[in-house]
Structure 1
């Protein structure tokens, strides 16, 4: 029979908000447990960010308190070649896109020359001389920077390790976690968890049910490790570790952002799923606090707690990796709005773009890249053409169902036609009249994004209401 007092204790602990004292104890005493995703990101991060993450793991304050489950190491070792191969193959992908751009560029001018030749301008016009400008030398010069990029790419590829090269990252990981690796579950435990897992997944009991369609297995001795149950095995190793060693505080650092691990409300991750907290507190009664951080938040907090030098760029790089293929969404389906904005405004020296912190740290969004580019290009050029101050301010706010992007600029009273003029029946060019706004509205409507504009107190504002489900 369940002890009613114990039942109340577990309930309250499961729903306890960690106050400052609890967080101080957690960071001061916790065992840091890492999953394979964090370690595999070492292959994906830029070199500087990778070095900073490794440096953090090697700090005595951290290294003396870290641990990885056998399941975590198993997945790291078996998936590292995929991570290495993906990095290597990206060179060919980028090179192919650049060569395609060159072909399209050359084909465009070939077609242009043919069309101009049909006009017989040399014989029929006294002034127009296209050959003066559209020469083979000028065409070659126009594409020269792309050829330079390809040459640079070829040189960088020589430095990129391949799957058959010596793996220095693997050496680093094994050295850091030497003597801090779980022994794994017994064959009997694993068999029992497979049976229990089928029922858990059917009822969507976390963790792991999001991986239920993974078909592969790994073998160690005579034990089959089924990938679809990898998270479940890993989780029970964590529980067994906490129980066997009477741990009081545990921090799990994970690169997995699927909702079979995280409790998420209004687009914000609030911590571990309550089912996970209930399970670990029930089975490891000595545990006073269990908490989870994704890699970027771990690095941010650890920089604050231990005064480690962790750059904002490294934190940003780890944030972007949370949207990788392992989370069920292909990374090439997701776009970085702030990066697209940087491309749109790259040559605008005479125009100021001020961005709120919330905008620069936006999660990736599932909207076609060219759609987002065309929309931002239209908005920014409209502001440039019509703003009285040659500036635009961009911010964002999170609502219950939407994340709103807000673009505001001071309207120029001398230009009566504006991006908002669709509502006032005016005519004009693409950016001065209804066509530009219609394009933004119609293309974003296909993505389920609502657009609103206002012109108040001589300030023009356009708002994009993007559903929360669109963001990673």
Structure 2
């Protein structure tokens, strides 16, 4: 079954009937959710098609195409992609540089603490020097990896890659992007997001430190998902694919680790549309697609020309414009 570690969770049926909306890790229920749900890629997932190395980019693209008949993109998420992608690689390199400097600073702090302990514990100088040199070697290795990630593609090849990925995203999302909200509707959603900042409620709570109006982007995506679920979801699970796992955002944290869709959002989606809200990462999508291609589903006889011998489970369209 699909692995459940880290970032995927939802309610089980017994909890639903008892009124308990708490999250749990049930691989079987997740599999059902993914078999019948609508997949919604966050902006960061689409932008990762630019950022990933070629092999991983191809894997993610292939996975998204595999579920394309059940793919829908909120207008706000697509707007973020369009706004960011002209300078997506520069932004990516800047992010890598910021992370590299932050990690280097942490290594320097760690070296200071280790030196202090070596002195207090009266550790022999050769042993103490070995520990310090090991830390410095690890720091250097990390910085070399970070530098290589930021300079993997020559400038000319990078421009071609950007053009190719842009075409791929455009093809992938054609007729699958939600309509922009009306002005009054957007104003109402922004006002709700402002209340969520004050009340520390997801998904805006995670971005309360950002400036206006960027802090409201996730809440706009959330309201567009709620609207889609009410109007077109027909009770099907709403599956957000994201790598944004900040606390008090899309996910809940337990024991300082992301443990699944935030229960307040799970409850809100259920109340608004009668749908489950599920959060997965790209890795969970890749695992699911891999299982689709390697598992023989004997219960699916009649779905294809070779149905009398059993077939691979097809991913059938569940969206209104494909029915």
TM-score, structure 2 as length reference: 0.63
Matched, 1:161 2:158: yes
Q: d(CA) in 1 for partners of 2:151 and 2:226?
A: 48
* Equivalences for residues 42-191 of structure 1 within 5 A: 42-59=49-66, 62-86=67-91, 156-162=153-159, 167-191=163-187
Task: Give the Cα separation in 1 of the matches to 2:181 and 2:216.
Answer: 13
User: In the alignment, what sits opposite 2:111?
Assistant: none
Q: RMSD of the alignment, in Å?
A: 3.1
The alpha carbon displacement at 1:184 in A equals 2.7
How far the C-alpha of 1:294 sits from its partner, in A, is: 1.6
**Which deviations, in whole Å up to 9, do the C-alpha atoms of 1:215-253 show, x marking residues without a partner?**
36xxxxxxxxx3211000000110111111123222110
Alignment CA distance shift 1:202-1:50 (3 Å): same
The answer to whether the 8 Å contact 1:32/1:253 transfers is yes
How many residue pairs get aligned? The number is 229
Higher relative contact order (CA 8 A, sep 6+): 2
Structure 2 equivalent of residue 265 of structure 1:
254
- Measured against aligned partners, the alpha-carbon deviations of 1:364-421 in whole angstroms (never above 9, x if no partner) come to xxxxxxxxxxxxxxxxxxxxxxxxxxxxxxxxxxxxxxxxxxxxxxxxxxxxxxxxxx
SS at match of 2:201: coil
Q: Which ranges of structure 2 fall in alignment gaps of 5 or more residues? A: 1-14, 98-146, 296-323
- Higher Rg of the two aligned structures: 1
Q: State how far apart, in whole Å, the 2-side matches of 1:292 and 1:208 are.
A: 16
Q: Deviations over 1:298-326 (max 9, x none)?
A: 32333234439xxxxxxxxxxxxxxxxxx
* Correspondences of 1:65-464 after superposition (within 5 Å): 65-86=70-91, 156-162=153-159, 167-215=163-211, 226-245=213-232, 246-259=234-247, 260-285=249-274, 287=275, 289-307=276-294
Instruction: Note the C-alpha offset of 1:80.
Output: 1.4
Shift of 1:183: 0.8
Q: Which has the higher helix share?
A: 2
The whole-number CA distance in structure 2 between the counterparts of 1:282 and 1:156 is 47
The normalised TM-score by structure 1 is 0.44
Mapped to 2, the partners of 1:77 and 1:179 lie a distance apart of 16
Pick closer, same or farther for the CA change 1:11–1:208 going to 2, 3 Å.
Answer: farther
Name the residue aligned to 1:428. none
Distance, in Å, in 2 between the alignment partners of 1:165 and 1:58 is: 18
Gapped regions of structure 1 (runs ≥ 5): 1-7, 94-149, 217-225, 309-472
Compute the displacement of 1:267 (Å).
3.4
Q: 2:45 aligns with which of 38, 43, 46?
A: 38
